[in-house]
């Protein structure tokens, strides 16, 4: 059984839909679902005023499936604090997708805006389009708090700047290219970028692994070449290429616990660093 | 508009009323003798009524507060007030936005706040922000201790020119008094040093010592008979063993000036060789303040939890940054005038240093026997947000509440502190003195503020408690009662009812207008030359004009 939400008219301003998660809606009758509140701009509306509601939702949260047709990229905070179930988004959606998510699955057949999987604790997010900045990151300013802790984010398109900002665990797989500084300030976990990166991967990282298979503009000067590898692995995906492994970031922590994999085939400048490895 | 507040249990120390049931007639924003029968009558049924509170030291506006807001987005994520028909929205706990600063003060029953440190060059910004703070009356005190032009006159020993310049500066920036932050430190900071600048150390460029700056500016302050004494943040703030400097500053003022206000004294009353041996030096500081006739202090009480430290003592902030784990620091520099720093900080109960600091603030308030000499502040947002004042009142008024916290803090701190042995409990009257009457007196506004005598401003706060019941209510209810006023009247208008803002209006900004400023022509040539040399700003653009500030109120010095 699938509960489908379709906007009645084109959404013009952002919708704050923190109540729309399958486990929170599970077990509600059709009438109760209609009366769930969402904020449309500055106005607080009932779900039925904004969406056409079809289907029903089962009482078991694990089986609950919520299908949202957005297409305008305006629905924010979908699946906030979600613990179980599944959300399918047809089209693009807004900011804070799956923020503080603790389990379940989200599938987006389109793009998302910033802070997808922000500070998520567990679960899986799969995005078939592109992702905005701060994918799986933490909020700005919370320097001592971790970003994503566990779980998996797969982006089939590209990601914006600072993917995995302050991330502490879990994995992010980006099939396309990443924006500037993926894995900035990360303390654990894994980021794999199959495409290119304009620069500064892992700036300020104190742990975790970043794998970049494509061309990299530059790496931070506080990284040291450590060793080489024939392949790199992340969540069962194996990429075979001559990788050089850097450790860092020495500015943040002299122990240099972070690992940065750079593909030497695509980055001829990295070959020079190979000679420095003793 | 007329208003009659009936059956008020009034505590008004400036009129020597220690609790009487009276009626308070209000007309056109002033307290009057009598009102006509058409007045709006509010029967408060014997509830506690005091004049509106006055906060003498709270960083609510200005460039460094804005920097604090910018570098701390996390402070604004979880603390906010939403929009209502009577008020605008805002966010922030330790660095609240301008609108909710005013609302929160009004909800607490406070009606006047002094922003105590604004570099003269950037005071235009401070006024812009103060203009946005609703309900409360405001004043700002410019920083003068590292002002190059002023030091130029002081190092020459030319107090007359310095006095003329100060009078002009107050009028030009629409300031209210003189603030000295770690005198001379901004000049030392140019060299990259200055952490722990001693009271008798030489300052580069002008070859003058902090002692001479305090003495010189103190004398200038008394020559001009400014309403507020010099507002001094002593040297060596936040360094163990600094109580000696504080005591020396007070004694120096007692000898050669007469009046001095030591601000956030808690941060300046540390004894011991290093942080591990930190002990309270509150006894010595309290003794010095009691023995010196014109000396006053404010607590600078610390609240456990997050805070944003911001001060014009830049080297100290830089040193503090290296102690914190939050890893954020912002430094600022104002040409030829001042420097500053902003660092977020977290005070922890189990931390020895923080726990001792917490004890020192309360000890100071309890050891200074005369409540007219000590004021309640947290040095917002350095020690904690101003919204925690009711909790400090609770600690001052109830020994049991203090002991509850003492049982939770670091044991070593408890052994070192005097606080467990102090039995004194403040009375409501003494609280009214330290939050209302005494600040009004030290600001020179005792005829219009901090009292409800006929002719004074109708700034009234009513709390939902009957004074004979105040000892019987629980701790949390006590805090809630004082945190959310039953009624706040500002300039004769009811702005808060049952702890909710019902009307937004704007207060005035007080500044000192001194006749000596007219003599500025005698030194104008020299000052303009110095401006040309030291400033990138045109002299003519320095002055904040009267049209730029919303409802200015001059305090004329005869």
- What's the pLDDT score for residue B326? 77
Q: Does B75 touch chain A (CB under 8 A)?
A: yes
Of B132, B134, B118, B105, nearest in space to B65 by CA: B118
Q: What is the pLDDT of residues A90-130, one digit of tens each?
A: 999 999 999 999 999 999 999 999 999 999 999 999 999 99
Q: What is the pLDDT of residues B267-276, one digit of tens each?
A: 999 999 999 9
- What's the pLDDT score for residue A248? 87
Distance, CA of B431 to CA of B75 (rounded, Å): 30
Specify whether the CB–CB gap between A262 and A215 falls below 8 A.
no
Q: How confident is the model at residue A42 (pLDDT cuts 50, 70, 90)?
A: confident
Specify whether the CB–CB gap between A160 and A141 falls below 8 A.
no
H or E stretch at A154: strand A152-155
Backbone torsions φ then ψ of B53, nearest 5 degrees: -70, 155
Q: Is the ipTM of this complex over 0.85?
A: no
Of B123, B128, B86, nearest in space to B106 by CA: B86
- The alpha carbon of residue A239 is apart from the nearest alpha carbon of chain B, in Å, by 37
- What's the pLDDT score for residue B431? 94
Distance, CA of B282 to CA of B298 (rounded, Å): 12
Of B331, B347, B346, nearest in space to B64 by CA: B331
Average pLDDT taken over every residue of chain A: 92
Residue B139, both tokens = 């004043």
- What's the pLDDT score for residue B196? 87
Distance, CA of A193 to CA of A181 (rounded, Å): 12
Tokens 């109120």 map to which residue? B553
Q: What is the pLDDT of residues B424-455, one digit of tens each?
A: 999 999 999 999 999 999 999 999 999 999 99
For residue A144, give the chain B residue with the closest CA.
Answer: B326
Q: What is the pLDDT of residues B302-335, one digit of tens each?
A: 999 999 999 999 999 999 999 887 788 999 889 9
Residue B486, both tokens = 């039953």
Q: Quick check: A144 and B75 CB within 8 A?
A: no
- What's the pLDDT score for residue B471? 87
Q: How confident is the model at residue B89 (pLDDT cuts 50, 70, 90)?
A: very high
Average pLDDT over residues B459-473: 91
pLDDT exceeds 80 at position A71: no
Residues from A in contact with B at Cβ < 8 Å: 139-145
Q: Does B74 touch chain A (CB under 8 A)?
A: yes
Residue B85 burial (C-beta neighbours within 10 Å; 0-12, 13-18, 19+) = exposed
Distance, CA of B165 to CA of B184 (rounded, Å): 18
- What's the pLDDT score for residue B192? 87
Q: Quick check: B73 and A143 CB within 8 A?
A: no
pLDDT exceeds 80 at position A278: no
Q: What is the pLDDT of residues A220-274, one digit of tens each?
A: 999 999 999 999 999 999 999 999 999 989 998 889 999 999 999 999 999 999 9
- What's the pLDDT score for residue B524? 94
Q: Quick check: A142 and B71 CB within 8 A?
A: no
Does residue B124 have a cis bond before it (omega within 30 degrees)?
Answer: no
pLDDT exceeds 80 at position B41: yes
Residue window 327-356, chain B: list those with CB within 8 Å of chain A.
327-328
* Residue B468 neighbours by CB under 8 Å, 6+ apart: none
A157 alpha carbon, distance to own chain's centre: 12
Picking from B73, B326, B327, the nearest residue to A140 by CB comes out as B73
Please list every residue in chain B whose beta carbon sits closer than 8 Å to the beta carbon of residue A140. Answer: 73-74
- The alpha carbon of residue A213 is apart from the nearest alpha carbon of chain B, in Å, by 32
- Residue to mutate among B67, B68, B70, B74, with most A CBs inside 10 A, is B74
Distance, CA of B414 to CA of A42 (rounded, Å): 50
C-alpha dist (Å) from residue B473 to B37, B393, B410: 37, 14, 29
Picking from A141, A144, A145, the nearest residue to B73 by CB comes out as A141
Q: What is the pLDDT of residues A21-41, one digit of tens each?
A: 998 898 888 899 999 999 998
H or E stretch at B119: none
Please list every residue in chain B whose beta carbon sits closer than 8 Å to the beta carbon of residue A144. Answer: 325-327
Tokens 């050891």 map to which residue? B367
Does residue B19 have a cis bond before it (omega within 30 degrees)?
Answer: no
Q: Does B77 touch chain A (CB under 8 A)?
A: yes
- What's the pLDDT score for residue B212? 94
Does residue A249 have a cis bond before it (omega within 30 degrees)?
Answer: yes
The 3-state DSSP composition of chain A as helix, strand, coil percent (nearest 5) reads 10, 30, 60
Q: How confident is the model at residue B174 (pLDDT cuts 50, 70, 90)?
A: very high
Average pLDDT over residues B46-72: 94
Average pLDDT over residues B341-364: 94
Of B104, B59, B110, B47, nearest in space to B81 by CA: B104
Picking from A139, A143, A145, the nearest residue to B327 by CB comes out as A143
Q: How confident is the model at residue A206 (pLDDT cuts 50, 70, 90)?
A: very high
Specify whether the CB–CB gap between B310 and B64 falls below 8 A.
yes
Average pLDDT taken over every residue of chain B: 93
- What's the pLDDT score for residue A58? 87
Q: How confident is the model at residue A155 (pLDDT cuts 50, 70, 90)?
A: very high
- Residue to mutate among A42, A118, A134, A141, with most B CBs inside 10 A, is A141
For chain B, how many residues are written? 558
C-alpha dist (Å) from residue B533 to A32, B306, B380, B539: 73, 42, 36, 11
Please list every residue in chain B whose beta carbon sits closer than 8 Å to the beta carbon of residue A141. Answer: 71-75, 77
């Amino acid at each position: 059984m699938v509960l489908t939400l379709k906007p009645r008219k084109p959404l013009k301003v952002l919708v704050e839909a923190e109540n729309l998660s399958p486990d929170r809606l599970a077990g509600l009758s059709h009438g109760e679902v209609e009366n769930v509140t969402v904020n449309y701009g500055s106005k607080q509306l009932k779900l039925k005023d904004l969406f056409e509601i079809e289907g029903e939702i089962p009482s078991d949260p694990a089986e609950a499936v919520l299908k949202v047709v957005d297409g305008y990229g305006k629905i924010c905070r979908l699946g906030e604090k979600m613990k179980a179930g599944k959300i399918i988004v047809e089209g693009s959606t807004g900011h804070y997708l799956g923020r503080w998510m603790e389990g379940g699955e989200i599938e987006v057949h389109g793009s998302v805006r910033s802070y997808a999987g922000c500070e998520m604790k567990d679960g899986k997010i799969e995005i078939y389009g592109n992702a905005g900045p701060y994918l799986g990151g933490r909020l700005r300013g919370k320097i001592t708090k971790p970003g994503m802790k566990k779980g998996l984010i797969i982006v089939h398109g590209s990601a914006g700047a600072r993917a995995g900002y302050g991330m502490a665990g879990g994995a992010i797989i980006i099939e396309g290219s990443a924006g500037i500084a993926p894995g900035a300030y990360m303390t654990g976990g894994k980021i794999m970028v199959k495409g290119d990166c304009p620069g500064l991967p892992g700036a300020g990282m104190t742990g975790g692994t970043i794998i970049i298979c494509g061309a990299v503009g530059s790496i931070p000067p506080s990284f040291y070449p450590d060793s080489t590898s024939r392949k790199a692995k992340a969540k069962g995906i194996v990429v075979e290429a001559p990788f050089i492994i850097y450790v860092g970031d020495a500015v943040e922590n002299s122990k240099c616990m972070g690992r940065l994999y750079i593909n030497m085939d695509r980055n001829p400048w990295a070959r020079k660093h190979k000679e420095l490895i003793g | 508009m007329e208003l009659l507040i009936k059956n008020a249990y009034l505590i008004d120390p400036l009129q020597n009323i220690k609790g009487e049931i009276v009626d308070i007639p209000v007309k056109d924003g002033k307290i009057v003798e009598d009102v006509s029968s058409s007045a709006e009558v509010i029967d408060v049924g014997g509830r506690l009524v005091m004049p509106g509170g006055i906060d003498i030291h709270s960083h609510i506006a200005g460039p460094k507060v804005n920097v604090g807001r910018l570098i701390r987005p996390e402070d604004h994520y979880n603390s906010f007030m939403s929009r209502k028909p009577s008020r605008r929205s805002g966010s922030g706990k330790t660095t609240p936005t301008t609108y909710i600063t005013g609302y929160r003060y009004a909800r607490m029953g406070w009606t006047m706040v002094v922003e105590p440190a604004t570099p003269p060059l950037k005071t235009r910004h401070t006024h812009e922000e103060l203009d946005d703070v609703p309900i409360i009356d405001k004043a700002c005190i410019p920083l003068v201790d590292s002002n190059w032009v002023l030091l130029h006159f002081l190092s020459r020993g030319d107090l007359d020119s310095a006095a003329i310049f100060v009078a002009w500066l107050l009028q030009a920036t629409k300031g209210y008094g003189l603030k000295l932050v770690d005198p001379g430190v901004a000049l030392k900071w140019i060299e990259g040093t200055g952490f722990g600048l001693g009271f008798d150390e030489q300052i580069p460029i002008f070859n003058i010592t902090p002692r001479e700056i305090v003495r010189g500016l103190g004398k200038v302050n008394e020559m001009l008979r400014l309403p507020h004494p010099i507002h001094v943040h002593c040297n060596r703030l936040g360094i163990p063993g600094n109580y000696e400097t504080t005591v020396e500053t007070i004694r120096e003022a007692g000898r050669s000036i007469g009046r001095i206000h030591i601000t956030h004294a808690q941060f300046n009353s540390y004894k011991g060789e290093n942080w591990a041996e930190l002990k309270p030096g509150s006894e010595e500081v309290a003794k010095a303040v009691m023995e010196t006739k014109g000396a006053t202090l404010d607590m600078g009480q610390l609240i456990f939890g997050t805070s944003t430290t911001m001060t014009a003592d830049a080297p100290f902030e830089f040193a503090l940054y290296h102690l914190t784990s939050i890893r954020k620091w912002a430094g600022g520099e104002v040409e030829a005038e001042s420097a500053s720093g902003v660092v977020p900080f977290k005070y922890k109960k189990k931390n020895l240093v923080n726990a001792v600091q917490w004890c020192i603030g309360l000890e100071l308030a309890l050891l200074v026997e005369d409540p007219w000499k000590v004021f309640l502040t947290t040095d917002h947002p350095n020690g904690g947000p101003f919204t925690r004042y009711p909790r400090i009142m609770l600690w001052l008024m109830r020994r049991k509440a203090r002991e509850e916290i003492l049982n939770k803090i670091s044991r070593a701190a408890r052994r070192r502190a005097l606080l467990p042995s102090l039995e004194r409990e403040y009375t409501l009257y003494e609280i009214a003195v330290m939050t209302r009457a005494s600040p009004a007196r030290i600001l020179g506004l005792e005829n219009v503020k901090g009292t409800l005598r006929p002719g004074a401003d109708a700034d009234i706060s009513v709390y939902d408690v009957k004074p004979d019941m105040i000892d019987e209510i629980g701790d949390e209810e006590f805090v809630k009662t004082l945190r959310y006023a039953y009624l706040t009247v500002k300039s004769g208008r009811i702005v808060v009812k049952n702890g909710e803002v019902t009307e937004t209006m704007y207060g005035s900004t007080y500044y000192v207008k001194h006749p000596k400023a007219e003599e500025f022509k005698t030194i104008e040539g020299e000052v303009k030359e110095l401006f040309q040399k030291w400033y990138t700003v045109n002299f003519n653009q320095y002055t904040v004009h009267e049209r730029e500030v919303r409802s200015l109120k001059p305090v004329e010095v005869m």
